[in-house]
């Protein structure tokens, strides 16, 4: 049997991002894979859980660590729809993840490509391999749709607030 492609796993990460979207969370999804098997899934839940660390990547790493009964995720690969922030990139290094596949970059807070590259910082004790652009268009489209809807909802609430009914 042929092993699944990075696109297959990124589609799974997009399913997680869709869950976040449905929960009115920023739609980021992440998958942790080891030897062709998904061992961790996560999507953003910061608003729902009132937890600044409840990012998709962190949730997927936690689930993978439990499934594998240890915090060292050596040999694991992460597939994430949007470039990780500094916290999540740091967690990928600390967990010793082998490689991360990123859908869309994040010019405002990305810490793997956009603002810095924590995954390959030679001062750290572990390097994480990286590949970007996996299903980039789908990942970007989901984010754009989410923020368009949020702006639309804000506009509607402002109208109601200021208009006589």
Residue 129 is a catalytic residue: no
Q: Name the maximum alpha-carbon separation found in the chain.
A: 64
Question: Among 16, 33, 57, 83, which one carries the catalytic annotation?
Answer: 57
- The CA distance from 56 to 82, in Å, is 10
Please name the residue that has the structure tokens 């949007």: 82
The dihedral sign for the CA sequence 31, 12, 103, 55: negative
Number of helices (H) and strands (E), helices first, in the chain?
Answer: 5, 5
Judge whether 57 and 91 are in contact, CB under 8 Å: yes
Phi, psi of 108 (to 5 degrees): -90, -30
Q: Under a CB-based contact definition with an 8 Å cutoff, are residues 109 and 87 in contact?
A: no
Distance CA 28, CA 43 (A): 6
Q: Any idea which residues carry the catalytic annotation?
A: 57
């Amino acid at each position: 049997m042929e092993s699944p492609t990075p696109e297959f796993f990124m589609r799974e990460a997009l399913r997680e991002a869709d869950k976040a979207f449905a929960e009115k969370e920023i739609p980021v999804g992440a998958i942790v894979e080891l030897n062709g098997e998904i061992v961790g899934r996560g999507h953003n839940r910061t608003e729902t859980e009132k937890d600044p660390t409840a990012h998709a990547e962190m949730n997927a790493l936690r689930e993978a660590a439990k499934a594998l009964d240890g915090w060292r995720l050596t040999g694991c690969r992460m597939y994430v729809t949007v470039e990780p922030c500094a916290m999540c990139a740091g967690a990928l290094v600390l967990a010793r993840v082998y490689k991360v596949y990123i859908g869309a970059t994040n010019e405002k807070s990305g810490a793997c490509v956009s603002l810095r590259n924590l995954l390959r910082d030679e001062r750290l004790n572990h390097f994480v391999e990286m590949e970007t652009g996996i299903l980039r268009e789908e990942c970007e489209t989901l984010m754009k749709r989410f923020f368009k809807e949020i702006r639309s909802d804000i506009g509607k609430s402002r109208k109601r607030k200021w208009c006589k009914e």
